Amino acid sequence: MNTQQNTVNKEIILTGDRATGPLHLGHYVGSLKQRVELQSTHDQTILVADMQGLTDNAHNPNKVSSNILNVVADYLAVGIDPSQTTICLQSQLPALAELTMYYSNLVTIARLERNPTVKSEIQSKGFERSLPAGFLTYPISQAADITAFNATLIPVGDDQLPMLEQTNEIVRKVNALGGKEVLKECKPLLSNASRLPSTDGKNKMSKTMGNAINLGATEKEISAAVKSMYTDPNHLRVEDPGRVKDNVVFTYLDAFHPNLSYVAELKEQYQRGGLGDGSTKKILEECLQEMLRPIRERRAMYLNDKAQLIDILATGSHVSREKTAQVLYDVKGVFGLNIL
Ligand code: TRP
């Protein structure tokens, strides 16, 4: 096949991560692994969402700025290849901010307040009394991210589904106003892996709650995290039968152990009785240490050469500015603003 033709026909993927902390195993299972697999068959852009990171951190901007290169190093360490995937920085793409302004006129406050993900974030961040306008409206800026690239496929976790729904509503409104297909609707690409629980078994893994294993975690941190993992609180003696369901050690073994029939045997033994938590944790720890060692080493190597990381972001942002100019022009056209 003609390669150029091939590039033209590739489906466009856009994903992003808020740059508010280093990425962790939850990101790996939920999205990063898929992005690595998709980069050779799709036209993929990954956005380091620094502006979205500021929507709840504007008073502590260092939390965002200091994590931008960490996130890029995380991408490269897991195998995202900048010659196949465009990695760009949201704040370097003015078209995104402009599109956000235009789209804002098409979305009601009531609609923004109904977004279930934003709703629960408002609660967990204690924003009920002092909600930044930028936070309530970040789904509009996310719609700008997605549509600016003409992306149709968005690999995300299920918490992002409300954002894609809002994006498609905006797309339909713009198309109705324009009287033709100006923007494309997108669909989610959900990983078939179930969401990875936090090490304490209480929540989803969170950058901020200290219950996650980061991709760059040291050997000691991995070891401590596995040792503290939630298992079956009623499994007191080795010979007692234990519960596999909601047992974080087994959830992680399912997600990361290369030999699933071995994991199935372990589960049987655990449920029968005769397998202690110390043993299952040891098996998990070995598996995670082995998997994360090369990622940690590559990550450190990339972070040692910040100039290279900046160069990758600058190149990707330059390419992305060119890619996003047309959609901005088209949307301004819908509002009759391409006069000059
Ligand atoms: N909201 C996403 C998150 O919290 C980050 C993000 C920003 C994003 N822009 C995006 C995801 C565009 C997908 C597409 O992780």
Between the CA of 259 and the centroid of ligand 1 the distance, in Å, is 33
Query: Angle 292-298-302 (CA atoms, 0-180°, nearest 5)?
Result: 140
16 lines ligand 1 (CB under 6 A): yes
143 lines ligand 1 (CB under 6 A): no
Burial of 9 (0-12, 13-18, 19+ CB in 10 A): exposed
Residue corresponding to tokens 């040692």: 304
Q: pTM of the entire structure?
A: 0.93
20 lines ligand 1 (CB under 6 A): no
166 lines ligand 1 (CB under 6 A): no
Nearest Cα residue to atom 15 of ligand 1: 17
Residue from 13, 18, 68, 100 to probe ligand 1 pocket by mutation (most atoms less than 8 Å from CB): 18
167 lines ligand 1 (CB under 6 A): no
Between the CA of 81 and the centroid of ligand 1 the distance, in Å, is 20
List the chain pLDDT tens, one digit each, 340 residues: 444 444 568 999 999 999 999 999 999 988 899 999 999 999 999 999 999 999 999 999 999 999 999 999 999 999 999 999 999 999 999 999 999 999 999 999 999 999 999 999 999 999 988 999 999 999 999 999 999 999 999 998 888 999 999 999 999 999 999 999 999 999 999 876 667 888 888 777 766 566 889 999 999 999 999 999 999 999 989 999 999 999 999 999 999 999 999 999 999 999 999 999 999 999 999 999 999 999 999 999 999 999 999 999 999 999 999 999 999 999 999 999 999 9
pLDDT at 311: 98
pLDDT at 204: 72
pLDDT at 1: 40
CA 183 to CA 331: how far, in whole Å?
8
Helix (H, G, I), strand (E, B) or coil at 163: helix
End-to-end Cα spacing for the chain: 42
Buried b (16+ CB within 10 A) or exposed e, 253-279: bbbbbeeeeebeebbeebbeeebbbee
Nearest Cα residue to atom 13 of ligand 1: 15
Question: DSSP strand E in the chain: where?
Answer: 12-18, 43-49, 85-89, 153-155, 187-189
pLDDT at 194: 67
156 lines ligand 1 (CB under 6 A): yes
14 lines ligand 1 (CB under 6 A): yes
Nearest Cα residue to atom 3 of ligand 1: 17
Between the CA of 143 and the centroid of ligand 1 the distance, in Å, is 9
For the chain, list the domains and their CATH numbers. Answer: 12-196+306-334 (3.40.50.620), 219-299 (1.10.240.10)
| Cβ pair 88, 317 in contact under 8 A | yes
Between the CA of 142 and the centroid of ligand 1 the distance, in Å, is 6
pLDDT at 191: 77
Residue among 295, 293, 289 at smallest CA distance from 226: 289
52 lines ligand 1 (CB under 6 A): yes
Nearest Cα residue to atom 8 of ligand 1: 16
Residue from 146, 160, 205 to probe ligand 1 pocket by mutation (most atoms less than 8 Å from CB): 160
CA 156 to CA 16: how far, in whole Å?
9
